Structure 1
């Protein structure tokens, strides 16, 4: 049985002519037909309209065609919507070790997924240090190390706090002689003065980011 047996397709005018011919050829070669009554509308992401072809059609993107052929069986249409609000349409997600693949794979963590859902934009997880998975247990030698910050406010302070915690260290809002490092945006400040008096190293945010990238 051919992959697209029983599929009667129509391709939206939103797709460029050359790509329409390519999709039509793939569909026809694998058992589909363009004869009515139509069952599927192949549309370009973000540009199709349901009233373009009225009726109870399955509206899918061109990726549905490609994935069905590659996998050798008809894929569920609901996972290949061209609707721009369906951000993860056509993306196969894995919550554990990913199988080897010659195709580019996005590897992100839960914070990245929450960001994508809230922003409606599929950013690369590498765009932020906090979006990429890290080894469990934190950086060796940094576990329970108390770190505080000064002269960073708002989102910058929140970012550094999360970075410190992800690395396995302990963020402290206030400063004491138990602190091992002070991250300072600029100097002087009451905290930097105490750090000098107590011989506590003073660094800026790039030190934290370099430690995170090197994971040491």
Structure 2
């Protein structure tokens, strides 16, 4: 299963606008969009699925710092200044080399660690595997590109995200309140919109 995305970040505003492609099965995928504004996130609702949101275009959800996974969207608003912190969490960090991405000089790192992922319809099973990520960091410590994978005995999940226009002001605005229906989390937002699309 592979997901991918690309987008832009305004670090001064703590604002991010990312297009994400989510797989539904081996042959199909859904093209969606996530906007992050400070502690608030918004998932775009495809027009064909807006009957699930009362015709509204966005599902809003809170971003709570202590609940964020290392590569949750809001994590990209933070500098990776302390790779040592990942090592303290049991990860192996290796410097791979240098590469120019989106016109920026970056340093590539590989991060690997043991992973524990809850699986099953209700998350009743706990599987152990390996999580691996490649980070291309700018000289300021921002992740210009990230690729990651989680390998378990039952499945392999891949993802990637490339950011452009780093540090440049964005014209994108937060979705208007009258176009947003609220959800308690990103997972709840995805479930509400795509619950019959093979994403649960």
Give me the TM-score of the superposition, normalised by structure 1: 0.21
Give me the TM-score of the superposition, normalised by structure 2: 0.22
Q: Which has the higher helix share?
A: 1
> Higher relative contact order by CA 8 Å / sep ≥ 6: 1 or 2?
2
Answer with 1 or 2: which has the greater Rg.
1
Q: Which has the higher strand share?
A: 2
